[in-house]
Amino acid sequence: MRALVSALMKDGFTAELHEPDGNDPLGGVIDIRGDFGLVEVVSFADRLPAVIRDALAAEAVPIRSGSVLRVVPMAQLVALKLYAGGLGSKADILELLRRNPEADLETIRATWRRYRLRGLDAILTELD
C-alpha cells in the first residue's frame, strides 16, 4: 500500500494511507484526491469475512467501458461500512444515502440482516 501511495504521489495525485490498527477489519485504505473528487482504495489484506467476499462477488457497476475498476453495489457498500464500524463509516453511510435518494432501502436492510450487522436502524432515523 505504501508503494502505491508513493506511485500515486509521483504521478501528481494527493494520496493518503490510513493503515489499520489491530481492531480494523480492513487491511488499510488509501484516499486519493484530485479534481475528480475522492476515490478510496480499500485493501482487504486476506481479511475476507462473508460481507467482503459477497461484495467482491456481487455484480459490479462498471466505471466506464474497458475499465478494470469496479463499484460495489449500494447495499454491499453500506454493509461494508457497517462492518467497518466507527463514526466515519456512519457519516459515510448517511452521505451515501442522502446523495442517492433512489437507493433501495429494502435491499439494503435485507443485506444488513443477512450479515447480522448492527446500527443501520439508528443511522436511518438520522436520515429523515
For 67-95, write each residue's pLDDT tens digit.
Answer: 777 778 889 889 888 888 888 889 999 99
What range defines the domain where residue 126 resides? 48-128
Sign of dihedral through CA atoms 21, 26, 31, 37?
negative
- State CA 8 to chain mean position distance: 20
Choosing from 31, 47, 63, the residue where a domain stops is 47
Q: Answer whether 111's CB lies under 8 Å from 75's CB.
A: yes
Do 25 and 68 sit in the same domain of this protein?
Answer: no
Question: In Å, what is the CA distance from 71 to each residue of 2, 60, 101, 102?
Answer: 23, 6, 18, 17
Spatial distance between the Cα atoms of 46 and 30, rounded to a whole number of angstroms: 17
Q: Answer whether 94's CB lies under 8 Å from 127's CB.
A: yes
- State CA 115 to chain mean position distance: 16
Do 42 and 22 sit in the same domain of this protein?
Answer: yes
Residue length of the chain: 128
Predicted local confidence at residue 48, as pLDDT: 55
Top pLDDT among 48 and 36 is at 36
Do 30 and 72 sit in the same domain of this protein?
Answer: no
Spatial distance between the Cα atoms of 104 and 115, rounded to a whole number of angstroms: 17
pTM of the model: 0.61
The chain-wide mean pLDDT, for the chain, equals 84
Do 92 and 71 sit in the same domain of this protein?
Answer: yes
Q: Per residue in 25-38, pLDDT tens?
A: 667 889 999 888 89
Do 6 and 54 sit in the same domain of this protein?
Answer: no
Our count of domains for the chain comes to: 2
Do 78 and 100 sit in the same domain of this protein?
Answer: yes
Do 70 and 95 sit in the same domain of this protein?
Answer: yes
Do 8 and 35 sit in the same domain of this protein?
Answer: yes
pLDDT above 70 covers a percentage of the chain that reads 90
Top pLDDT among 26 and 118 is at 118
Place of cell 490498527: 21
Do 86 and 120 sit in the same domain of this protein?
Answer: yes
Do 42 and 105 sit in the same domain of this protein?
Answer: no
Do 24 and 77 sit in the same domain of this protein?
Answer: no
Do 42 and 54 sit in the same domain of this protein?
Answer: no
